[in-house]
Amino acid sequence: MPVNIIIFGRLADIAESSLALENVADTNTLVKELHILYPALADAKYVIAVNKKVVNENTSLTENSIVALLPPFSGG
């Protein structure tokens, strides 16, 4: 089950701007896998959106879910 991940802002300097991971059932597993692949992400601040909705708790992922890692925003 591929999960598509889009990474924005300065987080894209740490990891690829988009990638797909297999066998991730939920956002907690996804974060663990990303921190293994990109250890610098463990120190970065970001929120996770699943299918264009920000999530604050562990969320199940389905085939072809689109996950976005969003860095802190500053207004202007």
Q: pLDDT tens digits, residue range 8-18?
A: 999 999 998 89
Q: How far is it, in rounded angstroms, from Cα 58 to Cα 74?
A: 26
H/E segment holding residue 56: none
Residue 70 in tokens: 């969003």
Question: In the prediction, which pLDDT does 42 show?
Answer: 95
- Mean per-residue pLDDT for 58-73? 93
Q: Which of the four pLDDT bands, split at 50, 70 and 90, describes residue 33? A: very high
* pLDDT-derived band at 75, boundaries 50, 70, 90: low
If we measure between CA atoms, which residue out of 76, 71, 74, 75 comes closest to residue 9?
71
Q: Which domains does the chain have, with CATH numbers?
A: 2-70 (3.10.20.30)
